[in-house]
């Protein structure tokens, strides 16, 4: 029973906590939504034993507060605190090169097909937990075209248009950047909001206009440019300058897995996800590997993302009590058995050491690289004018509950 042992000590405290148990049982929404099955069973078992001793009517919800305090110790997020998620949900624009050089080989595929596959995978993944309606996609060569606007694009139409793109023409960084900049709200009311551009190219700028024409506008609109280069002829110096001049960073990608992980990382950054831990490994057909993941108590929502370049891998998640998380639970977000990458999102996770199991389900080539990223959205402190944090609020509510209990017993 660990921290619940004190409920069966027979002390006056236990009698008070009996009412606490009854209180939380009377608040069915709290019980159903915030207590895992194992914990519910513990409370029910304890309460049944006390029913033989105490016959007074429960006082209701105030006595649930003490149980909630116990739940806080275990890492649960009680609804009375109503924590605010640190979700940024920034507008994001992906700008990628489709000039003639993108037809060159990249491993077993071409550069353009690798980029299109990566964007398609990231779109399918992030729509489960990010606002795709605030994501635009632009392709460029000599000129630039909007493949997906910030709002209003049908998913099937976007994916079809993305798949139909052919590499051709010269390379104008300015054409792509200028088109992307035009899609953001840079008015007096919108320009102060944080925004992100992800700019990808394999080559060198060789056709006007230059990107430098639009960098002041990006800075004025509070847009950070994150650049990704791939291939042997990439103009790294220019991409680094574009990024650094707006407060962003440059990364180099050598394969599709790296490219997808970079895109996932930037999308997550724009949505307020903080990195908790990251693993990389190699897994063989039929093999099972397990990773330990520590979830700290300040995490409101946790996300485990499994990615690999091909074939099919499986994922299983266990909580600190070694209970397998049912991926079909209504409060769990799971991208699906057929998805790639695969993500599991757990709201109000218990703090402690979780376990993530990865299995090699279908690997025709015998083995494959993979990555596992664990991220979280941090629970922000509740700030109330005149109170100093959650502790004071809990003390006041629990104090009121105790007074009501004393009055009830008289």
pLDDT tens digits, residue range 76-131? 444 433 333 345 668 899 999 999 999 998 878 899 999 999 898 888 887 776 65
pLDDT confidence tier of residue 26, bands split at 50, 70 and 90: very low
Q: Are residues 100 and 10 in the same domain?
A: no
Per-residue pLDDT for 41 more than 90?
no
- Whether the pLDDT of residue 172 is over 60: the answer is yes
Task: Verify that 237 and 117 share a domain, yes or no.
Answer: yes
Nearest to 361 by CA among 338, 327, 334, 332: 338
Residues 253 and 301 in one domain: no
Give the global pTM: 0.71
The CATH number of residue 301's host domain is 2.60.120.380
Q: Are residues 213 and 282 in the same domain?
A: no
Residue 284 pLDDT > 90: yes
| Whether 129 and 169 share a structural domain | yes
If asked whether residues 112 and 177 sit together in one domain, one would say: yes
Residue 348: give the domain boundaries: 275-378
Between 6 and 283, name the one with better pLDDT. 283
Q: Is residue 104 included in any domain, yes or no?
A: yes
Strand ranges (DSSP E) for 254-347? 274-284, 288-295, 299-307, 312-318, 333-334, 342-347
Q: Which domain-ending residue is among 204, 236, 271?
A: 271
The strand pairing partners of 369, in sequence order, are: 282
CATH number at residue 163: 3.40.50.410
* 114 assigned to some structural domain: yes
Residue 225 belongs to a domain = yes
Model confidence at 331, pLDDT cuts 50, 70, 90, reads confident
What's residue 60's pLDDT?
39
110 and 251 housed in the same domain? yes
Q: Tens of pLDDT along 361-402?
A: 999 999 999 999 999 998 764 433 333 444 544 555 555 555
- Residues 65, 103 within the same domain: no
Instruction: Identify the domain boundary among 213, 242, 271.
Output: 271
First to last CA, the chain: 32
Same domain, 167 and 61: no
Note whether 218 and 175 are same-domain residues.
yes
Cα 359 from Cα 337, distance rounded (Å): 12
Pairing of strands 92-97, 195-201: parallel
- Which range among 135-144, 151-160, 161-170, 218-227 shows the weakest confidence by mean pLDDT? 151-160
Q: List pLDDT tens digits, range 175-225.
A: 999 999 999 989 877 777 889 999 999 989 999 999 999 999 999 999 999
DSSP code for 320: T
For 9-23, 128-142, 278-292, which range has the lowest pLDDT when averaged over its residues? 9-23
pLDDT of residue 193: 82
Q: What is the pLDDT of residue 207?
A: 94
Predicted pLDDT at 277:
95
**pLDDT value, residue 62:** 40
Q: What mean pLDDT comes out for the span 272-290?
A: 95
Final residue of a domain: which of 211, 237, 271?
271
Q: How many domains are there within the chain?
A: 3
Residue 31: per-residue pLDDT: 45
306 and 370 in a single domain? The answer is yes
Q: Does any domain span residue 70?
A: yes
d(CA 223, CA 239): 15
| Domain presence at residue 87 | no
Average pLDDT on 258-273 reads 88
Query: For a pLDDT cut of 70, what percent of the chain falls above it?
Result: 70
Side-chain-side CA neighbours of 135 within 13 Å: the count stands at 23
Q: Mark whether 149 and 47 lie in a shared domain.
A: no
* pLDDT of 29 over the 80 cut: no
* Mean pLDDT, rounded, for 301-328: 93
Q: Domain for residue 282, yes or no?
A: yes
In a domain, 197, yes or no: yes
Above pLDDT 90, what percent of the chain? 49
Q: What is the pLDDT of residue 175?
A: 97
Tell me the mean pLDDT in the region 305-311. Answer: 91
In a domain, 169, yes or no: yes
């Amino acid at each position: 029973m660990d921290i619940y042992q004190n409920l069966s000590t027979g002390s006056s405290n236990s009698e008070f906590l009996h009412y606490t148990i009854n209180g939380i049982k009377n608040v069915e929404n709290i019980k159903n939504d915030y207590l895992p099955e194992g914990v519910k069973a513990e409370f029910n078992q304890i309460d049944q034993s006390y029913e033989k001793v105490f016959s007074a009517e429960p006082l209701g919800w105030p006595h649930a507060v003490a149980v909630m305090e116990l739940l806080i110790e275990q890492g649960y997020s009680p609804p009375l605190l109503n924590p605010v998620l640190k979700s940024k949900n920034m507008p994001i624009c992906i700008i990628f090169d489709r000039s003639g050089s993108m037809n060159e080989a990249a491993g077993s595929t071409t550069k353009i097909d690798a980029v299109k596959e990566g964007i398609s995978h990231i779109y399918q993944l992030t729509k489960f937990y990010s606002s795709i309606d605030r994501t635009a996609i632009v392709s460029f060569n000599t000129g630039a075209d909007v493949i997906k606007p910030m709002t209003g694009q049908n998913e099937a139409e976007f994916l079809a248009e993305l798949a139909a793109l052919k590499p051709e023409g010269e390379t104008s960084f300015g054409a792509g950047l200028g088109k992307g900049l035009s899609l953001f709200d840079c008015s007096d009311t919108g320009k102060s909001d944080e925004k992100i551009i992800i700019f990808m190219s394999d080559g060198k700028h060789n056709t006007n206009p230059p990107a430098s024409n639009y960098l002041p506008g990006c800075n004025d609109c509070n847009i950070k440019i994150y650049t990704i280069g791939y291939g042997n002829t990439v103009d790294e110096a220019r991409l680094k300058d574009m990024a650094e001049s707006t407060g962003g960073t440059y990364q180099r990608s050598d394969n599709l897995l790296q490219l997808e992980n970079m895109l996932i990382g930037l999308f997550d950054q724009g949505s307020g996800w903080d990195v908790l831990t990251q693993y990389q490994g190699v897994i063989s057909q039929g093999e099972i590997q397990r990773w330990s993941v520590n979830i700290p108590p300040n995490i409101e929502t946790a996300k485990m993302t499994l990615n690999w370049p091909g074939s099919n891998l499986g994922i299983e998640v266990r909580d600190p009590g070694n209970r397998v998380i049912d991926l079909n639970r209504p409060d769990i977000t799971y991208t699906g058995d057929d998805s790639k990458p695969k993500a599991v999102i757990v709201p109000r996770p218990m703090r402690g050491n979780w376990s993530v199991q990865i299995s090699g389900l279908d690997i025709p080539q015998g083995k494959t690289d993979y990555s596992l990223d664990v991220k979280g959205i941090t629970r922000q402190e509740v700030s109330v004018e005149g109170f100093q944090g959650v502790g004071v609020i809990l003390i006041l509510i629990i104090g009121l509950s105790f007074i009501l209990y004393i009055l009830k017993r008289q």
